[in-house]
Amino acid sequence: MPLRFLTAGESHGPQLTVILEGMPAGLPLSEDDLVEDMRRRQKGYGRGGRMQIEKDGAHITAGVMNGLTTGGPIALTIYNRDWRNWRDKAIDPFTVPRPGHADLTGAVKYGYTDLRLSLERASARETAARVAAAGVCKKLLDIFGIRVVGYVTMIGGVRAGLPETIDPAEYERRAATAEENEVRCPDPQIAGKMRARIKEAIQAKDTLGGVFEIVALGVPAGLGSHVHYDRKLDGRLMGAVGSIQSIKGVEIGPAFANSAKQGTHVHDPIVRDTDGALNRSSNRAGGTEGGITTGMPVIVRAAMKPISTTLNPLPTVDLATGDPTEAIYERSDYCAVPRAVPVGEAMVAFVLADALLEKLGGDSLAEMQPRFDALRRSHIDDLPQANEAWQFGFTDWENDAGKQQS
């Protein structure tokens, strides 16, 4: 059974609830382990007023006893402080769908007679629950030396020129530098320009999108599979990251840039190190080949559209009157790209934890550890070849059984 999680909760309801199922027993876990990423998700230039109200943390209410996971479902609760402001409020009718949001599509799908029902569940508030669940996944990955980091590479057309690298320490450095500025960009000079660009957009009553990069380091070769579409790791990563609110595009490594190049300029040569390890001299594949990890950093990039709520209203139609009108402003972020980084990390960490559990099996950490240590490496000694002629061995449908049936 795969690792899975469910989230529940409205943006302005009393709480978000997460159940993470499939974690092995014996993982040390406390609420303190989850708080840092939840705080990181709250920070970033261009955020809206809500983050001044919330002080996110996750309360563990099941699946962890005496500081260790039990193997049972882990239940987490994140309280919405803003709920207090909504609890006794008379809610105004919401009949004017905002372009870009789920207001209209949600009403078409579910037949809502008030559009707030779309907003409440579609809101990126839900990402707090994802980050909480992934905090547990990151803790598991950490035991096996796998780290998931991220940073922003573009906001509103302002790009950080980050050179290609295969050096894990460089990715760690980028992520650490990015945490030091409000836009989570590894280049401090570009970070200043991104900040200015966001300020400009706010003054123009507009919003901005951008691109962030998530990098997983220390991922062993051999996670995922080439044998079936729903087991391919790249597909799973793209689906998971693409499910984040406002994400409209995902690539593994520099996929869109690669698509304009010749094959010999794209694929990563395989090189044998002196000790027999089979390595790559570049990582343009972004860490996967055939839907399986290569052992190189796994690189996932995501394109985030500008936040759909704009102070300058876009044309829309009032569903109550049927008349053309303008969208009504609801408090929102102006640029959520810096805040999306821990959310992207969360989805990548979840997929990798799932793939690791799938590979190692086992119900407890104690069972997983020796299996991890015995994993087949991308190493000449671990890949003995038969090196002799052989036959496919299928029956011949034309001359044998198939002919008799026809």
Binding-site ranges for ligand EPS (CB under 6 A): 11, 48, 50, 82, 123-125, 127-128, 245, 307, 331-333, 336
Minimal distance in Å, beta carbon 11 to ligand EPS? Answer: 5
> From the centroid of its chain, how far is CA 374?
29
317 burial via Cβ count (<10 Å: 0-12, 13-18, 19+): middle
Cα angle for residues 241, 307, 318 (degrees, 5° grid): 120
Nearest residue to 23 via CA among 69, 77, 90, 89: 69
Report the residue number, 186 or 338, with the smaller CB distance to ligand EPS.
338
Nearer to ligand EPS, 48 or 73 (CB): 48
The widest CA-to-CA distance across the chain, in whole angstroms, is 79
Answer for the pair 250, 348: CB distance below 8 angstroms, yes or no.
Answer: no
Q: Which is nearer to ligand EPS, 216 or 337 (CB)?
A: 337
> Which tokens is 3 given?
């690792």
Nearest 5°: CA angle at 261, between 256 and 262? Answer: 140
Give the number of other CB atoms < 10 A from CB of residue 370.
10
Closest to 314 measured CA to CA, from 171, 44, 104: 104
The dihedral region occupied by 41, where left means phi > 0, alpha psi between -120 and 50, and beta the remainder, is: alpha
The residues near 204 (Cβ < 8 Å, ≥ 6 apart) are 312
Q: How far is the CB of 311 from ligand EPS (least distance, A)?
A: 13
Q: Based on CB atoms, which residue is closest to ligand EPS, 80 or 378?
A: 80
The CB-of-107 to ligand EPS minimum distance in angstroms stands at: 17
Cβ proximity to ligand EPS, 124 vs 208, nearer residue: 124
Taking the complex as a whole, the smallest distance from the CB of residue 172 to ligand EPS amounts, in Å, to: 26
Neighbour tally for 43: CB within 10 Å? 15
Q: How far is CA 383 from CA 81, 376, 377, in A?
A: 55, 8, 8
Between residues 50 and 301, which has the closer beta carbon with respect to ligand EPS? 50
Q: CA angle, corner 277, sides to 274 and 281, nearest 5?
A: 90
Rounded to whole angstroms, how far apart are CA atoms 279 and 287?
11
Nearer to ligand EPS, 73 or 313 (CB): 313
The residues with which 289 forms a beta bridge, in sequence order, are 292
CB of 375 to ligand EPS, least distance (A): 37
- Our CB check for ligand EPS shows the closer of 38 and 349 to be 38
CB of 15 to ligand EPS, least distance (A): 13
Q: Which amino acid is at 204?
A: A
C-beta closer to ligand EPS: residue 132 or 353: 132
* E strand segments, 198-327: 210-217, 247-252, 270-272, 278-280, 288-289, 292-293, 298-304, 315-317, 324-326
Q: How far is the CB of 229 from ligand EPS (least distance, A)?
A: 30
End-to-end CA distance of the chain: 42
C-beta of 193: minimal distance to ligand EPS in Å? 23
**Considering beta carbons, is residue 245 or 378 the nearer one to ligand EPS?**
245
CB of 16 to ligand EPS, least distance (A): 9
CB of 385 to ligand EPS, least distance (A): 52
Q: Minimum distance between the CB of residue 214 and ligand EPS, rounded to whole angstroms? A: 18
Which of 40, 50 has the CB closer to ligand EPS? 50
How far is CA 63 from its chain centroid? Answer: 24
